[in-house]
Amino acid sequence: MSPAEISRITDSLINSVQECRNRPLENVYPVVFLYCMFFKVRVNVAVETRAIYNILGVDIEGKKDVLG
């Protein structure tokens, strides 16, 4: 994938990501799940293990929201 193609794809997603990040959240999430996934990433010439955390909240009605 070329750098131009990656830029085009990320540019097309920026508005959706901003909209998701700025949406109002519920006041209460009785259930919250925290997931951690580890990935190998290349940083310059080295390969490092990095963690990505995902937080999923379930509101009173059972609706799931990605919180982080």
Residue type, 14: I
Q: What is the pLDDT of residues 2-53, one digit of tens each?
A: 889 989 999 999 999 899 889 999 999 999 999 999 999 999 999 999 999 9
Given a contact cutoff of 8 angstroms between Cβ atoms, the answer to whether 28 and 60 are in contact is yes
pLDDT of 58: 97
Token pair for 13: 């997603």
How many angstroms separate the CA atoms of 61 and 27, rounded?
13
Q: Could you write out the three-class secondary structure of 12-32?
A: HHHHHHHHHHCCCCCCCCCEE
If phi > 0 it is left, if psi is from -120 to 50 it is alpha, else beta; for residue 26 that is beta
pTM metric for this prediction? 0.67
For the chain, the structural domain boundaries read 3-66
